[in-house]
Amino acid sequence: MVNKLKLPIWLLSLSSLLLLGACSKWHEDAARDDREAPTLILLAPHRSDFLPGDTIPISLEVLENDELHDVYIGLNNLSDMRKVLHYGIHLHAQQLRIDTFYRLPLQEGTAHYELQIEASDHRGNQNELRQPIFVYPAP
C-alpha cells in the first residue's frame, strides 16, 4: 500500500520539476533575445544655466522591457575634474524613478558641470545620457 501512494507523489514531483524547468528555459530564451537598452527619461533639470547657491533638481525615469541591472547617476564638476554627486543602484525591476537634487556652493564661480546617467539591463544592453550644466556668477 505504501508503494501505491509513493508513485503518484513521485510523478507529481517529477512533473513539477519539468514545468519549472520549462518556465525558466522560456524566460532565459526571452531574455537572451533582448537587444533593447533601457530608456532614460530626464524630467529635470529643464534648464542648463544656474547661479551659485542654486539647487539643481535631478529627476528621471528609467524604463526596461525585461529587467534593469544597474543605474548610475553622477554630477561631475568638469572645471576642476571632481565628482560632486554619485549614486549607483543594483536592482531587478522594469522601472525606476529617482528624484534628488544638488545644491551648488555659494562661493562657486563660473563652472561647467555634467550630469551623467547610465543604465544597463541583465543582457548587457546599455544606455547613457549626459546633460551639460553651466554655473555663472550672479550679475
- Same domain, yes or no: 82 and 22: no
- Same domain, yes or no: 16 and 56: no
Question: Cβ distance 38 to 127 under 8 Å?
Answer: yes
Give this prediction's pTM. 0.74
Give me the pLDDT at residue 27, please: 52
Give me the pLDDT at residue 22, please: 45
Give me the pLDDT at residue 28, please: 57
- Look at the chain and report how many structural domains it folds into: 2
- Same domain, yes or no: 60 and 127: yes
- Same domain, yes or no: 29 and 2: yes
* Number of C-beta neighbours around residue 117 at 10 A: 20
- Same domain, yes or no: 74 and 113: yes
- Same domain, yes or no: 84 and 128: yes
Torsional sign, CA 69, 74, 78, 84: negative
* Domain extent at residue 105: 39-135
Q: What is the CATH number of the domain that holds 82?
A: 2.60.40.2550
Q: Which residues of the chain have pLDDT under 70?
A: 1-32
Cell numbers for 136: 555663472
